Each structure stands twice: as structure tokens, then as C-alpha cells.
Structure 1
Amino acid sequence: MLATDLREALRPLWRRFHAHRTLSMGKTGILFRLDHHGALTATDLAALERISHQAVAGAVRELEEMGLVSRSPDPADGRRVLITLTDSGRTRLISERSAGQEWLVHAITGGLSESERATLAAAVPLLNRLDAEGPG
């Protein structure tokens, strides 16, 4: 079955690509969303990351303790709290996103033929569509 084959092919790549990261995928996702969207509430982050509000609250608390995000009252509605990426958070996000990049570049350029690289490049938009169109 294609879904099983794809999952099994991606699993070891995913592990290897993320082996050098120091933050969990969830925390990195929160930093990415804040960098991409600007200040957000925990509810907004939970919806964007497709995780529970409780999971976001715990991750944000840890990220705040690390100095990677800050919390402040929403100026438009003082009952809401906005979470903002700090400069340290932006620097850490860049580091996290580049972790594993060198390995991947080497694997693609050194291990695949030009034709294979073209095939892989053609698959990227399809993989992006799977996330955008998939359930959940």
C-alpha cells in the first residue's frame, strides 16, 4: 500500500534529519508559527499546530523559561495573553531549522543522480499538498 510504503520510507529520514535538533518538534513548530504569524494566543497556536491547548500551554511555559518567547496582555483585549517570539527565540529557530540540513544536502547531492534529484524535486509540491489537503 502506498501510504504504508511512504510512511516507512520517510520514518528513518525524519529521524536522521532531526537527530541534531535540541527542541521537540512541537516546540520548534510553536517558534515557527510565531515567527511566521507574529504574536498569537495559545488557542491560536493550538489550532495552527493541531495540538491541545494544554500541550501548547506547557510548551509555551518551557519556551518562556528558556527566554525564547514572552507573554504579554493583548492590548485589544486584556483578558487574552499574546505569545511573542523573542530575539533569542528567532536565533534558536534558525539553528533548529538548519539542524540536519548539511546531512540532507549531502545525501541529495552526493547520493542521487540528476534525474533522481529532479524526481525528488517534483515530489515536493505533492508532499506539501498531502499536508494541506489531508484530514485533521
Structure 2
Amino acid sequence: MVTDSKASEGSRLAALAGELRVSIGKLNRRLREQAHPGDFTSAQKSVVHRLERDGPATVAGLAKAESVRHQSMRVTVASLETLKVVSGEPDPTDGRQTIFSLTPVFQKSLKTGRVAREDWLLRALHAQLAPREQEALSSAVELLNRVGDF
């Protein structure tokens, strides 16, 4: 019977994992709808998030952090440079390298986009969830963060 119980729990968790993936995917799509058209590729988004979170970096540093080839990262950074998302300055300790950071104009745009998405989410939470459900969601967010940190 112990085996049946473990199999049942495994099936339940597998179903939960599938439902969670679908729900998070749906929420992500709805949040992306709030973003500007012509959003970035996943590689570009990853570089933007890394530069925002970790600060300025070289192409080599970004490539290592993202586990991609230097040449691939150079293409991604070049595309972001063309879009005026990042700008580069010579490395003060090694003039052969360039340190890239987010441009001030893009940082402002990034913040504006986040505010719009968070505003949509706030309105959705208020319109769709009762106060008790909002509290339950708050607890679920803590759990999701733990799973995400695994």
C-alpha cells in the first residue's frame, strides 16, 4: 500500500506541475501583451536582465555568465547596441575590452514598461480575487519563489 500511496502522490504532483506550467505560461503571455510591440528575443532579454541585475560587463563576462559562445554574445550585444539599449565604454584597466551597460534612456523605458505590466496585474488581482484569495496568492508566491530558487 505504501507504493500505491507514493505513486498516487507522484501522479498528483505531476498533474500539479503540468497545471502550474500552463498557468504560469498563460500569465506570462498576458503580461507580454502589456509590453511594447517588437519585444526582445530571449537572448536579448537575458542580457538586459543580467546587466540590470549585475551591472556593467564585458562581452566575455556576459558570454560566460550566460554559458554561450563569445561570438554569439557579441551578436546579441551588437543588436542591443543598434537598438540603443546598451552602450559601451573602454575598460579602464584593459583598453582592448569594452564594458557595456544599459543606456539611461532604455532604463527609463524599462521602468515604464514594468510599471505598465504591474499596473495591469494589480488591476487584475483586484478585479478577479477576493481578499482571502489575495492572501492565498501571497502565500503561493512565497512557495513559487522557493521552487524557483531550487
State the TM-score, normalizing by the size of structure 1: 0.80
How much is the aligned-residue C-alpha RMSD, in angstroms? 2.2
Confirm or deny that 1:52 pairs with 2:68: yes
Q: Distance in 1 between matches of 2:46 and 2:116?
A: 14
Question: Tell me, which stretches of 5 or more residues in structure 1 are unaligned?
Answer: none
Cα distance, 1:17 vs structure 2: 0.7
Q: Distance in 1 between matches of 2:64 and 2:136?
A: 33
Contact 2:91 2:98 in 1 (8 A): yes
The 10-residue stretch of structure 1 (6-15 or 24-33) with the greater mean CA deviation from structure 2:
24-33
Match of 1:41 among 58, 68, 72: 58
Contact 1:74 1:81 in 2 (8 A): yes
Q: State the structure with bigger RCO (CA 8 A, min sep 6), 1 or 2.
A: 1
Secondary structure of 2:26 counterpart? helix
Structure 1's 126 and 56: CA in aligned 2 closer, same or farther, altered over 3 A? farther
Q: Distance in 1 between matches of 2:63 and 2:138?
A: 31
Contact 1:28 1:96 in 2 (8 A): no
2:22 aligned partner, one-letter code: E
Q: Which residue of 1 aligns with 2:7?
A: none
Secondary structure of 1:84 counterpart? strand
Confirm or deny that 1:5 pairs with 2:19: yes
Cα distance, 1:68 vs structure 2: 1.8
1:110-121 aligned within 5 A: 110-121=127-138
1:23-34 aligned within 5 A: 23-24=39-40, 25-34=42-51
Bigger Cα Rg: 2
The structure with the greater share of residues assigned to strand is 1
Question: Tell me, which stretches of 5 or more residues in structure 2 are unaligned?
Answer: 1-13
Identity of aligned residues (%): 32
Contact 2:34 2:120 in 1 (8 A): no
Confirm or deny that 1:81 pairs with 2:98: yes
Match of 2:141 among 117, 124, 130: 124
1:89 aligned partner, one-letter code: F
1:14-66 deviation line (CA, Å, top 9, x unaligned) = 10111132322543442333233221123433455x46245533332122112
Structure 1's 46 and 21: CA in aligned 2 closer, same or farther, altered over 3 A? farther
